[in-house]
Amino acid sequence: MPHPSTTDHTHPRPSLLLTVTADTLVAADFTPRRRRAPQRGPYRRLFTLPGTRAFTIGNLIARLPMGMFTVSAVIMIAGSRGSYALAGAVTATGLAATALIAPWTARLVDRHGQARVAVPATAVAVLGSLALVLCVRYGAADWTLFACYAATATTPNTGGMSRARWAHLLRDDPAALHTANSFEQAADELCFMLGPVLAAFLCTGLFPEAGTLTGAALLMTGVLVFASQRSTEPPTPDRGASAPPAAPSPLRAHGMPRLLAVCLAMGAVFGSMEVVTIAFADAHGQQQAAGAVLALQAAGSCAAGLLYGALRPTGPAERRLPRCVAAMTPLMTLPLLAATLTNSLPALAATLLLAGMATAPTMITTMTLIQNHTPEHRLNEGMTLAVTGLLAGIACGSATGGWIAEHTSPTTGFAVPVAAVVSALLITVGQLVTRRARTGAARRSRSLGSRATADSRRPH
């Protein structure tokens, strides 16, 4: 006969109920359960690491002027000297000087530390900007403008230094590193979207030198805040006990030349698209709307970058890159079709928004591969080489797109970014085919070796 249930009455609220049967003892626990903590999103988890919020804020402040300096210099010099040709030549000289000096600055950063090199290098660049303002303001000779703007080439690659910190902090968590790289790419797009708008507003709303002065102040402030976060700074070979005495150059790393060629082609896409879009808007009498139209492309890329970072990538990055470029290729043909078929600026703006959505995933995957191929203690140099490739591509794309737009038509000029992205696709597909061929050859070699070993062991 079943025994009646018994309850412990020593507590006003029972926490345990025992039910005894002929052959079973059942215990039921009625103590309150703790609620599970809500899962944090991938981006929120990034900034739970100590020091990451502070160095990110400083980096964003320092990165915003990167989209301001060129526009500010063009407006300031052209307004003072009445020559867009002179303004373009000065900024092109600064771009060429950056392509030469930036890798050396990055090498010093990797060797001696971010704080020890970035702060004095930024100070030299800020002095160059201030000297440029003074030379323009007081009518100095034209050659002084070239010298002053070339001095700004010592500006450190703040985006590369930030990515190097993430790579150091998340070296054992590839998924989180993918999210961090996506955030950095979205930040790049955001700064290059807001920077020109802010520069144009300051130079036209206040006085011509306001954009350059504000950019210099933001750059110095941001780098000081960024460099002060020493706890997240990657160790240098001098401080790391297990670091090798001298890591090989990133240029000698396997696969790096082709990745830099992809960066060159991608830069040509960006540079040609910018110039041709401005020419197209000018041909329709709406040059003032060109900035807003180009901002849509950056906005699409920023949104796609954040979404791509929230997703978990499938497969190795070597296989993802050709897929990203393959998706980008047809989207980059949309502006050409819109300009050819509709000849409408609003239609072009809509297609640029769509085209920009494939940009960030491609650049994120490219940067991930560069991180994977770069020696550990030269990561900032590898990132800066990628930026140098982008800058060189932007210069080539701008020159080519501008020449075609001027000598044929702006509509024809939209074929330049299409040709550039097709070149990037051929490079990535060729790299994948070469990699598979080498893998297959290695497998066949091992198979033949195994057969030869087995044959030698057989009795004759």
CATH tag, 52-235: 1.20.1250
Q: What is the pLDDT of residues 318-372, one digit of tens each?
A: 778 888 888 889 999 999 998 888 888 888 889 988 888 888 888 888 888 887 7
Average pLDDT of the segment spanning 376-398: 77
The answer, as to whether pTM is greater than 0.85, is: no
Asked which of 82-96, 143-157, 229-243 is least confident by mean pLDDT, the reply is 229-243
pLDDT reading at 280 higher than 70? yes
Strand partners, 17: 7, 28
pLDDT reading at 455 higher than 70? no
Per-range mean pLDDT, top range of 40-44, 98-102, 119-123: 119-123
pLDDT at 218: 92
pLDDT at 422: 92
Domain with CATH 1.20.1250.20 in the chain: 250-448
Assign domain 250-448 to a CATH class: mainly alpha
